[in-house]
C-alpha cells in the first residue's frame, strides 16, 4: 500500500486525501517511525486490522497469545531500543487484559502507546457488547489516555500520544477509539506534536541548585552516588561515568539503573536494595553526601525511611518534580533531564580521589564474598544454585547479553550476578514486580535489538503466567534463549514463609509439568540440566544456538537469596544469612 505522502507526491496535488479513520491510524504509526506492533484482534478493532493486512509490507504485526503478552513485548522492545513500543487490542476483555502491562510501564516509566477499539459512539454508556470503560479503568495506570470518538481527531491525538509517551519522564499512553471513528473518513494531514500547552516534560535546570550540588560534592569526605533508570532514560551514561571518574566517587545502582555503567568499572560498587550488595546498603548510612541520580527512593531501596541516610546531605537529580521530597528529603534538588544537568555540573566538579572511602566498599565486598557470593557462584554443596547458572551465562555470552528477568528469587540473583558491558541490557519489572513479564518482554527485547543475544531468566511460577507466548517465539522464530530456574516452588514467597512465617509453605509448592515437552510441543529446541557437570555445556549450546532455545535448570528447591533487608528494617540491618 502507498502512504498518503507517496500518493500526494505521485498526483502532485495538494488537495486533501480522504481516508478512513482506521487507515489514518496506520499512517500515524508510520509517521512516528513505528514498524512493529504487538496485538490481538477482535470486533471493535477490526477495521484497523483490515488496514494492517493491507500495509503488511510497512508495518509488522505480531500476534501475541494474550494481550498482557503484547504489552510486555512492547515494553521489552521499548526498553532495549529506546523507542516507543506499541500494543493494540480490541474493546472489553482485550482492553482490560492490557491493564497489567500499563501499570508495569507506568511505574517503570516505559514509553508505550496502547490502542484499543471501542464500541461505536452512539452505543457508549449503554453496556453494549464488549463495552468497557477502559479510559476510566486505565486512568491511574497511564501517563495520559484519551477516547477518540470522531475520525477527524485521530492525527492530532495520535501525535500527542507519542509525544507524551516518550518525552520527559516517559510512560504509557492509551488511546481508545470508537468503531465509528475507525470507519468514518477524514482529510488526513499529519504533524508531529512538539509541545502541549499545559505539559512541561523537562523542568528547566536551575544553575543555583547545580552550584549548590557541586559544592556539596566537592566538600564531601565520603560522597556516594546511587543512580537509577533516569540515567538510561536520559541517555546520561557517559556523563555519569565522567562524574564518578573525575570526582572518584563510588557509585551503586538500583535494579532499574543496572547496566548503565559496566559491571567491572572500578567505581561501580554494586546494587542497593532489599537483596542488594552489603557495602552499598550499609554504607548508605555512613556516607556524608548521598547523590541520588534519576532514582526515586523506592521502599525496596530505602528500607525504613526513619533510618535511611540520616547522617548524609542528600542531593537529588530528578526529572519529575513530584519525586522531590516524596520519600527522602533532599538538601539540594536538581530538576531536569540527567544528561543536561550532569553536563552543567561536570565543569564545576573538582578532581578527587576518595580511595580510603572506596576501600570501605572493598572491605565490605570481601565480607559479602566470603559469606554469600562464593557459595552462590562456586558452590561446594551438591544442588545447583541460581547464581552459578547466571555465572555460566555471563561466561558463555561474554557479558554481552541482554538479560530479561521475571520476578522472584531468580530475578534478584540475576540482577546480583549478571555482568554487563553495555547500557539497556537489564530488562526487569522493577516497580510493579510483575510475574509473567519476562517471556513476552524477551520477545520484544529481541525484536528491538536483533543483533544482540537475549536471555530470559524465569522462575517456574512466573513462566506459567505467560507460557502461551511460546507460540509467538515459534510462529515468528524469535531467537530468544529461555532459561527456567526450576525450584519447584514459588521461591521468593517460600523464602519469606521460611524466614517470617515459621516455614508454613502455604500454596508455594509447585507440581510442575514437563517443561521440556511443552517447549517441544511448540517446536522449540530444548534441554534440561539437573547436574553441575552438565551445566557449562548446556549453557554453551544454548548460547551458540541460532534458533530459539529453551533450557530448564533444576536448581536447589529451598535456597534463599541473601543478603536481605527484611521489609521495614534499616539498610544497616541487612542480613548476610
Which residues lie near other proteins (CB under 8 A)?
A: 135-136, 139-140, 143-147, 164, 195-200, 320-322, 324-326
Stretch that binds ligand TPP, among 26-34, 224-232, 356-364, 408-416 (CB under 6 A): 408-416
Task: Name the catalytic one among 88, 492, 542, 564.
Answer: 492
For residue 352, give Cα distances in angstroms to 246, 296, 311, 416. Answer: 6, 27, 22, 29
Among residues 261, 542, 556, the alpha carbon closest in space to that of 392 is found at: 542
Among residues 95, 88, 4, 10, the alpha carbon closest in space to that of 47 is found at: 88
User: Cell numbers of 363, please?
Assistant: 572491605
404 and 411 Cβ atoms separated by less than 8 Å: no
Binding of residue 214 to ligand TPP (CB under 6 A)? no
Cβ proximity to other proteins, 195 vs 521, nearer residue: 195
Any idea which residue has 509517551 for its cell? 165
Residue 164 binds what, of other proteins, ligand TPP, none (CB under 5 to 8 Å, by partner type)? Answer: other proteins
Query: Which residues 6+ apart lie within 8 Å of 450 measured at CB?
Result: none
Cβ proximity to other proteins, 135 vs 349, nearer residue: 135
130 is annotated as an active-site residue: yes
| Span 475-504, contacts to ligand TPP by CB under 6 A | 485, 487, 489-493
What Rg value do the Cα atoms of the chain yield, rounded? 25
487 and 559 Cβ atoms separated by less than 8 Å: yes
340 is annotated as an active-site residue: no
Cβ proximity to other proteins, 325 vs 378, nearer residue: 325
Q: What is the SS3 string spanning 93-131?
A: HHHHCCHHHHHHHHHCCCCEEEEEEECCHHHCCCCCCCC
Task: Name the catalytic one among 1, 58, 130, 474.
Answer: 130
Largest separation between any pair of C-alpha atoms in the chain:
77
Residue 196 binds what, of other proteins, ligand TPP, none (CB under 5 to 8 Å, by partner type)? Answer: other proteins
437 and 385 Cβ atoms separated by less than 8 Å: no
Cβ proximity to ligand TPP, 540 vs 556, nearer residue: 556
Residue 352 CA to residue 399 CA, distance in Å, equals 30
Size of the site for ligand TPP (CB under 6 A): 20
User: Cell numbers of 576, please?
Assistant: 548476610
Task: Name the catalytic one among 129, 183, 500, 501.
Answer: 129
27 and 4 Cβ atoms separated by less than 8 Å: yes
| Span 515-554, contacts to ligand TPP by CB under 6 A | none
Among 459, 552, 570, 574, binds ligand TPP (CB under 6 A): 459
Binding of residue 407 to ligand TPP (CB under 6 A)? yes
Residue 322 binds what, of other proteins, ligand TPP, none (CB under 5 to 8 Å, by partner type)? Answer: other proteins
Count the Cβ atoms, other than its own, within 10 Å of residue 102: 30
Cβ proximity to other proteins, 106 vs 397, nearer residue: 106
Binding of residue 75 to ligand TPP (CB under 6 A)? no
Binding of residue 440 to ligand TPP (CB under 6 A)? no
Cβ proximity to ligand TPP, 270 vs 462, nearer residue: 462
56 is annotated as an active-site residue: no
Rounded to a whole number of angstroms, the minimum distance from the CB of residue 339 to other proteins is 19
Residue 173 CA to residue 148 CA, distance in Å, equals 13
Rounded to a whole number of angstroms, the minimum distance from the CB of residue 230 to other proteins is 15
67 is annotated as an active-site residue: yes
**Number of H-type helices and E-type strands within the chain:** 25, 20
Cβ proximity to other proteins, 193 vs 348, nearer residue: 193
| Percent of the chain as helix, strand, coil, to the nearest 5 | 45, 20, 40
Binding of residue 90 to ligand TPP (CB under 6 A)? no
364 and 571 Cβ atoms separated by less than 8 Å: no
Rounded to a whole number of angstroms, the minimum distance from the CB of residue 411 to ligand TPP is 7
Give residues in contact with ligand TPP (CB under 6 A): 406-410, 433-436, 459-462, 485, 487, 489-493
* Catalytic (active-site) positions: 67, 129-130, 179, 492
Amino acid at each position: 500500500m502507498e502512504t498518503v505522502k507517496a500518493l500526494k507526491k505521485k498526483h502532485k496535488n495538494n488537495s486533501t486525501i480522504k481516508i478512513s479513520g482506521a487507515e489514518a491510524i496506520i499512517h500515524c504509526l508510520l509517521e512516528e517511525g513505528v514498524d512493529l506492533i504487538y496485538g490481538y484482534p477482535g470486533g471493535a478493532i477490526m477495521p484497523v486490522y483490515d488496514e494492517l493486512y493491507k500495509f503488511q509490507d510497512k508495518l509488522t504485526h505480531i500476534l501475541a497469545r494474550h494481550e498482557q503478552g503484547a504489552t510486555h513485548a512492547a515494553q521489552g522492545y521499548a526498553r532495549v531500543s529506546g523507542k516507543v513500543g506499541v500494543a493494540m487490542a480490541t474493546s472489553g476483555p482485550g482492553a482490560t487484559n492490557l491493564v497489567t502491562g500499563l501499570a508495569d510501564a507506568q511505574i517503570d516509566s516505559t514509553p508505550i502507546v496502547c490502542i484499543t477499539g471501542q464500541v461505536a459512539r452512539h452505543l457508549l454508556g449503554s453496556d453494549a457488547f464488549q463495552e468497557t470503560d477502559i479510559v476510566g479503568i486505565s486512568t491511574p495506570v497511564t501517563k495520559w489516555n484519551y477516547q477518540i470518538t470522531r475520525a477527524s481527531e485521530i492525527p492530532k491525538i495520535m501525535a500527542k500520544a507519542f509525544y507524551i509517551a516518550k518525552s520527559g519522564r516517559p510512560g504509557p499512553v492509551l488511546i481508545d477509539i470508537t468503531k465509528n471513528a475507525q470507519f468514518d473518513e477524514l482529510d488526513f494531514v499529519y504533524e508531529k506534536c512538539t509541545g502541549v500547552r499545559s505539559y512541561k516534560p523537562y523542568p528547566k535546570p536551575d544553575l543555583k541548585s547545580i552550584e549548590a550540588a557541586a559544592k556539596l560534592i566537592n566538600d564531601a569526605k565520603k560522597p556516594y552516588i546511587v543512580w537509577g533508570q533516569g540515567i538510561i532514560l536520559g541517555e546520561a551514561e557517559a556523563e555519569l561515568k565522567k562524574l564518578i571518574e573525575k570526582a572518584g566517587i563510588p557509585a551503586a545502582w538500583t535494579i532499574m539503573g543496572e547496566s548503565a555503567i559496566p559491571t567491572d568499572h572500578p567505581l561501580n560498587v554494586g546494587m542497593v536494595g532489599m537483596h542488594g550488595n552489603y557495602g552499598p546498603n550499609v554504607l548508605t548510612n555512613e556516607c556524608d553526601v548521598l547523590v541520588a541520580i534519576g532514582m526515586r527512593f523506592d521502599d525496596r531501596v530505602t528500607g525504613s525511611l526513619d533510618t535511611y541516610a540520616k547522617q548524609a546531605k542528600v542531593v537529588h537529580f530528578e526529572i519529575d518534580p513530584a519525586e522531590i521530597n516524596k520519600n527522602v528529603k533532599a538538601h539540594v534538588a536538581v530538576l531536569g533531564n540527567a544528561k543536561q544537568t550532569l553536563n552543567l555540573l561536570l565543569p564545576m566538579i573538582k578532581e578527587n580521589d576518595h580511595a580510603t572511602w572506596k576501600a570501605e566498599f572493598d572491605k565490605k565486598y570481601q565480607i559479602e564474598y566470603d559469606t554469600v557470593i562464593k557459595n552462590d557462584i562456586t558452590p561446594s554443596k551438591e544442588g545447583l544454585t541460581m547464581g552459578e547458572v547466571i555465572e555460566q551465562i555471563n561466561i558463555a555470552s561474554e557479558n554481552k547479553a541482554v538479560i530479561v528477568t521475571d520476578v522472584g528469587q531468580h530475578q534478584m540473583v540475576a540482577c546480583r550476578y549478571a555482568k554487563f558491558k553495555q547500557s539497556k541490557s537489564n530488562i526487569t519489572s522493577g516497580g510493579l514486580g510483575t510475574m509473567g513479564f519476562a517471556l513476552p518482554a524477551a520477545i520484544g527485547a529481541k525484536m528491538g535489538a536483533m543483533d544482540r543475544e537475549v536471555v530470559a531468566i524465569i522462575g517456574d511460577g512466573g513462566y506459567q503466567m505467560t507460557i502461551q507466548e511460546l507460540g509467538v517465539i515459534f510462529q515468528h522464530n524469535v531467537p530468544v534463549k529461555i532459561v527456567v530456574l526450576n525450584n519447584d516452588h514459588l521461591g521468593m514467597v517460600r523464602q519469606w514463609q521460611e524466614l517470617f512465617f515459621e516455614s508454613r509453605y502455604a500454596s508455594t509448592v509447585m507440581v510442575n509439568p514437563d517443561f521440556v515437552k511443552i517447549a517441544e510441543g511448540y517446536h522449540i529446541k530444548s534441554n534440561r540440566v539437573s547436574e553441575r557437570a552438565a551445566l557449562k555445556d548446556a549453557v554453551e549450546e544454548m548460547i551458540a544456538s541460532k534458533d530459539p532455545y529453551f533450557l530448564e535448570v533444576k536448581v536447589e528447591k529451598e535456597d534463599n537469596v541473601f543478603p536481605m533487608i527484611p521489609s521495614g528494617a534499616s539498610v544497616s540491618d541487612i542480613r548476610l544469612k
